[in-house]
Amino acid sequence: KIDLGYSPKQMIDPNTRTDYSKMKKLLNLDHLDGDRKGVIRRIAEEGQIVADLALSFPAKDLVNPELFTSLLFYYGMLTIIGTRGDRLILGIPNNNVRKQYYDYMLEQYQNKERISLNDLKNLYDNMAFDGDWRPAMEKIAYDYKENSSVRSLIEGERNIQGFFQAYLSINSYYLTAPEVELNHGFCDLFLMPDLQRYPEVEHSYILELKYLPAKDYDAKGEAQWEDAIAQIHRYAEGPKVQLMCQGTTLHCIVMQFSGWELARVEEV
């Protein structure tokens, strides 16, 4: 599409899903040993993982859970982005692959609680074209509560970010990535409008997701909220954001969770 001067409407090439299907077969081995699903979740939520890369291994070792991260690398779902001592930092190579990770997480969430993705897409239309963001954000927060578990509470803020990332990934109007560096800090989620494909989009968003254990909310909630407002305003004032959101109305949304309950959400 480069020669024609525009991006394709369908960004995910179906041919790239061959290795993804192989990966999912390996994930199903978790009931026998290992934590492959935890590896996928960590990569999707953090965008990277530190690992030792096996340079080669026999076919019989493909089911070894210790080699799962290396398999993701050889399947093209991770790439080398740095080093940490004598180990490698492996990251998601592009948005095409990132979408596959999010698709997997969506499947896992859907297995627990069936959620209408079509209803969400309708709410995303209203976000993109009308600036009506609250119904979509409150819907995702409600579905997070319905999908919650003891494990979710232990992981806290990271788990909430992963859930929002997965569900926002079906919104084709925005390029969504976790912890984007904006103006000397890392915002939780930046919904950058994909104006090349959808020039009619009129609204863009920065989301700051804050979490406190329910027992700490009354004592610490207000201070955390004020800190979040200062953070998100600093991100929004950066030249990078102004450039990428040019021509749209930028909304700064802070969402605060007490346990798995949405306690407060406002545009600030």
What 3-state DSSP class applies to 153?
A: helix
| Cα–Cα nearest to 191, from 173, 172, 205 | 205
Q: What is the pLDDT of residues 140-166, one digit of tens each?
A: 999 888 887 645 554 656 678 888 988
Number of helices followed by number of strands (H, E) in the chain:
10, 8
The answer to whether 72 and 88 are in contact (CB under 8 A) is: no
The answer to whether 255 and 209 are in contact (CB under 8 A) is: yes
What 3-state DSSP class applies to 75?
A: coil
List the 261-267 sheet strands across, edge first.
Answer: 174-181, 186-193, 203-212, 249-258, 261-267
Q: What is the pLDDT of residues 214-253, one digit of tens each?
A: 999 999 999 999 999 999 998 888 888 888 888 999 999 9
- Residue 176 scores a pLDDT above 80: no
The structure tokens 């020039």 sit at 199
Please tell me the pTM assigned to this model: 0.77
Q: What is the pLDDT of residues 96-138, one digit of tens each?
A: 888 888 888 887 777 766 677 788 899 999 999 999 999 999 9
